[in-house]
């Protein structure tokens, strides 16, 4: 019981020490920081030592060496390579031949490059393109979250986004589409009428247009990332629409995480008030 109590007091002391940083830097924080750095570095090395070096390297390699002496080849003998590369890394401590440490480094970088190339090709590029191949217009029952009321309001939103985007592409600051203004206006008016008709139509017979927004977002987003063309003209307009989508993404993800970040702090305050001070039951 007594040691538990000491543990709680130490934990509370360190908790408040870190929190005091919010007011300003101070010796209490410095102390907590110093102990955190020291402890965690020790913690990581000890865990790595047992869980990587001992469990993954030594436990596989040493039996393999023993069996080699008995004249048998064991696949695990390949771990020798890892050991040698590790030791090469340490040669950095001997400056004249320190450059040898570049060899394990190139193994690491080469391996990382190879693995990431494949992984991102498969899971990011190919799969994301695949899931974007969707109908841009569907009948609403095929989408789960949306129900009749949502479809209509959703479509009004879709048309609003379309009109604003088009207006921006035609008249925006960065755009220099070489058309006389009346022609631009004419296009815009036609689009406006089309969207109004679409909205009206969607009231009577709901079509789900969310696919169109996703398509536009991905398309314009990719245009934003294009390096080989200046962001002017049609390209500039589309890229700007792309940044809007990125901004919605950032805003939404930000807003979405606020709640769970608050809960992290609730956990600490709960510790202080309930476990330590016991002022709340």
Partner 1 sequence: MWRRTVPIMITFIVGTVLVVAEFIPHKPFGNLGEDFSLYFDIIAVFAFILGGGNLCRVHFSKVYRKKTDWQFSIVTLLGFFVMLAAGLFKIGNPEGIQGDVTAAGSLFADLYDSMFTPLQGTMYALLAFFVASASYRAFRAKNIDASILLIAAFVILLGRTPAPSLIADFFAGAGITFMATAFNFVPTLTDWIMDVPNLAGQRAILIGIALGVISMALRLILGVERTYLGSDSK
Partner 2 sequence: MLRFKAAIFTLLLLLLFCLSAAAQTAEELSDTAALEEPVYEIPRLAQVTNFEAKDSPDDAGGEIELTWDLSVDDKKEDGLVSKYVVLRSQNPTSDFHIVGVANHRDSSYIDKNLKEGTDYYYKIVTFPKYQGEVRLTREEIDPLMEQYPELTELDIKDVSMLAEYDRDIMSVFDDNILGISRVAGPVKSRAQWFNSKDLDTLIIGLTICISVVIFIGMARGGRKLFLRRIGGLQAIENAIGRATEMGKSILFIPGIQDMDDVQTVAGITILGRIAKTIAEYDTKINMPVSRSIVMTTARETIKEAYLSAGRPDAYSDDMVHYITDEQFGYVAAVDGIMVREKPATCFYLGAFFAESLIMAETGNSIGAIQIAGTAMPAQLPFFVAACDYTLIGEELFAASAYLSGEPKQLGSLKGQDVGKFIAMVFIIIGAVFATLAALTGSEDILEITNMIKSWFSA
Partner 3 sequence: MNFWKALLAIDRRWIFLFVFLALAVPMFLNVDFDLSISREVQGLYDALDKLQPNSKILMSFDYDPPSAPELQPMADAIMKYCLKKKLRIIIMGLWPQGPIQANMALNRAFLEEDINRDDYVYGVHYVNLGYQAGNEFVIQRMGSAFYEMFKRDYTGNRYEELPLMRGIKNFNDIDFSINFSAGYPGTVEWVQIAVDRFHVRLGAGNTAVQAPQVYPYYNSGQVVGLAGGMRGAAELEGVFARFDGGTVDYKDKGTKYMLSQTIAHAVVMFFIVVGNIAYFVIGRKDKLKASK
Choose among 161, 146, 245, 228: nearest CA to 199.
161
E strand segments, 88-149: none
Residue 173, φ and ψ in degrees, nearest 5: -60, -45
- Quote the least distance from Cβ 266 to partner 1, whole Å: 8
The item of partner 3, partner 2, partner 1, none sharing an interface with residue 279, based on CB under 5 to 8 Å by kind, is partner 3
Is position 245 an interface residue for partner 1 (rule: CB under 8 A)? yes
Cβ atoms of 222 and 235 within 8 Å: the answer is no
Six-digit token pair at 199? 């909205």
Cβ atoms of 197 and 218 within 8 Å: the answer is no
- Quote the least distance from Cβ 200 to partner 3, whole Å: 30
- Quote the least distance from Cβ 53 to partner 3, whole Å: 17
Please enumerate in sequence order all residues whose Cβ is within 8 A of that of 69, keeping only pairs 6 or more positions apart, or say none: none
Choose among 81, 86, 91: nearest CA to 49.
86
- Select from 141-149, 177-185, 186-194, 230-238 the region that touches partner 1 (CB under 8 A): 141-149
- Select from 50-58, 60-68, 155-163, 218-226 the region that touches partner 2 (CB under 8 A): 218-226
Q: Taking the chain, what is the end-to-end CA distance rounded to the nearest angstrom?
A: 19
Site string for partner 1, 144-183 (x = CB under 8 A): -xx--xx--xx--x---x----------------------
For residues 94 and 190, which CB has a smaller minimum distance to partner 1 in the complex?
94
Is position 147 an interface residue for partner 2 (rule: CB under 8 A)? no
Q: Judge residue 238's burial from the number of C-beta atoms within 10 Å of its C-beta, 0-12 exposed, 13-18 middle, 19 or more buried.
A: buried
CA torsion through residues 109, 112, 118, 124, sign: negative
The item of partner 3, partner 1, partner 2, none sharing an interface with residue 229, based on CB under 5 to 8 Å by kind, is partner 2
Residue with tokens 């990719």, as numbered in its chain: 222
Site string for partner 2, 21-50 (x = CB under 8 A): x--xx---xx-xx--xx-xxx-xx---x--
Binding site for partner 2 (CB under 8 A): 18, 21, 24-25, 29-30, 32-33, 36-37, 39-41, 43-44, 48, 89, 92, 101-102, 105, 108-109, 111-113, 116-118, 121-122, 125-127, 129-130, 132-139, 142, 211, 215, 218-219, 222-223, 225-231, 246, 249-251, 253-254, 257
């Amino acid at each position: 019981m007594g040691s538990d109590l000491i543990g709680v007091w130490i934990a509370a002391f360190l908790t408040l020490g870190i929190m005091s940083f919010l007011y300003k830097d101070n010796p209490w924080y410095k102390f907590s920081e110093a102990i955190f750095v020291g402890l965690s570095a020790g913690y990581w090395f000890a865990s790595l030592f047992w869980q990587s070096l001992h469990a993954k390297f030594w436990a596989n390699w040493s039996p393999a060496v023993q069996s080699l002496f008995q004249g048998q080849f064991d696949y695990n003998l390949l771990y020798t390579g890892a050991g040698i590369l590790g030791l090469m890394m340490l040669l950095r401590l001997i400056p004249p031949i320190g450059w040898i440490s570049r060899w394990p480094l190139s193994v690491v970088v080469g391996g990382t490059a190879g693995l990431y190339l494949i992984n991102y090709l498969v899971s990011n590029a190919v799969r994301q393109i695949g899931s974007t191949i969707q109908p841009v217009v569907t009948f609403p029952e095929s989408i789960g979250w949306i129900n009749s009321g949502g479809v209509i309001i959703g479509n009004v939103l879709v048309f609003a986004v379309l009109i604003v985007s088009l207006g921006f592409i035609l008249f925006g600051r960065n755009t220099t589409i070489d058309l006389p203004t009346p022609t631009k206006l004419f296009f815009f008016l036609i689009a406006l009428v089309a969207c109004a008709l679409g909205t009206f139509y969607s009231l009577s017979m709901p079509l789900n247009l969310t696919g169109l927004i996703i398509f536009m977002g991905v398309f314009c987003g990719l245009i934003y990332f294009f390096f080989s063309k200046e962001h002017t003209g049609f390209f500039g307009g589309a890229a700007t629409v792309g940044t809007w989508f990125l901004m919605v993404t950032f805003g939404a993800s930000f807003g979405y995480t606020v709640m769970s970040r608050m809960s992290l702090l609730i956990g600490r305050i709960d510790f202080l008030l309930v476990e330590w001070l016991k002022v709340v039951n």
